[in-house]
Amino acid sequence: MAKRSILHMLDPNVHNSPFDINMAVDAGYDVVIPYPNVKLEEVAGLTQDAIFSRGPSGVKKTGLFLGGRDIGLAMDMLDSAKKAMVPPFEISVFADPSGAFTTAAALVACVEKELKNNFGQELKGARAIVFGGTGPVGLATAVIAAEQGAITTIVDHFSIDTALEYASEAKQRYGVDLKATTAASDADKARLVSTADIVFCTAKAGIQVLSSSVLEDAKRLKVAGDVNAVPPLGIEGVDLMDLGKPLEYAINSEGAVGIGALAVGNVKYQLQKTLLEETLHSDKPVYLDFRNAFAGARKLV
């Protein structure tokens, strides 16, 4: 009897994400098994349990998905799983903690496209502000943008120390230079937006980051993207399905456009499904992180 495909889903949190489980089933995996509360030191052992039990033919139908909320931990888990492989017993591994890698990749790719289409400009050299930049999606967004040459600042709502800590970690892990700041008031936000070419809003759901009065202070803004799909939306005047629609309140930034959360979400959904399918159907093991997600998102947009 032909072996069925199995995806082992390792997550350091109390619960695995139902979103990710649904996506894995829809991508074609026959059996999906969640593992909550997984510690980093347990990843190697679980990986080897998964590879040695199926034989060389079975490993081609076996995958590993890494979740959680900490993108640094997810990258460490990916590295641990990769090192635990014993050729020819190797399986594909896909890290996407909280969907952060695929969401961030979709957001940056959508913004990049609108920046090129409307202004003929690349990400390289653009001034980018990431509100919610110390969350998993925000930090992944910042790292991807910085890797493309954007002059990127991460913003924490409460603490400059937290922002500096995450910027330092990004430098150590990924070799990117991130600026760091805090913005608790509209005056702080207006100061940052006034010199930005790009704004990424990746704050918690249900929080309006940029009001109309803040947007009026933008002097050179070109593209603003939001991932918050829960009212109130992250950017006033940007609706869920907007994709390159003029920014209503950025009256001092000629030609500025916005991208809504569901426009980003449509790309994210396609992207995660595509990458899961890649782990299932690739002839050789693949190890997927935010870099692969961004490359895939560029193709989709």
Residues with Cβ within 8 Å of 203's Cβ and at least 6 positions away in sequence, in order, are: 131, 132, 135, 138, 157, 209, 228, 234
Q: Is 208 exposed, middle or buried (0-12, 13-18, 19+ CB in 10 A)?
A: middle
Fold agreement (6-99+267-300, 104-264): yes
Give the fold, CATH level 3, of 6-99+267-300. Answer: Rossmann fold (3.40.50)
Residue 16 contacts residue 35 (beta carbons within 8 Å)? yes
pLDDT tens digits in sequence order for the chain, 301 residues long: 678 999 999 999 999 999 999 999 999 999 999 999 999 999 999 999 999 988 888 899 999 999 999 999 999 999 999 999 999 999 999 999 999 999 999 999 999 999 999 999 999 999 999 999 999 999 999 999 999 999 999 999 999 999 999 999 999 999 999 999 999 999 999 999 999 999 999 998 999 999 999 999 999 999 999 999 999 999 999 999 999 999 999 999 999 999 999 999 999 999 999 999 999 999 999 999 999 999 999 999 9
Tell me how far apart the alpha carbons of residues 132 and 202 are, in angstroms, rounded to a whole number: 5
Instruction: Report helix, strand and coil shares of the chain as percent, to nearest 5.
Output: 45, 20, 35
Range list of β-strands (E), 157-203: 179-182, 198-201
Average pLDDT of every residue of the chain: 96
Q: Largest Cα–Cα distance of the chain, in whole Å?
A: 67
Per-domain boundaries in the chain: 6-99+267-300, 104-264
CATH number for 104-264: choose from 3.40.640.10, 3.40.50.1970, 3.40.50.720, 2.60.40.730: 3.40.50.720
Q: Is 35 exposed, middle or buried (0-12, 13-18, 19+ CB in 10 A)?
A: middle
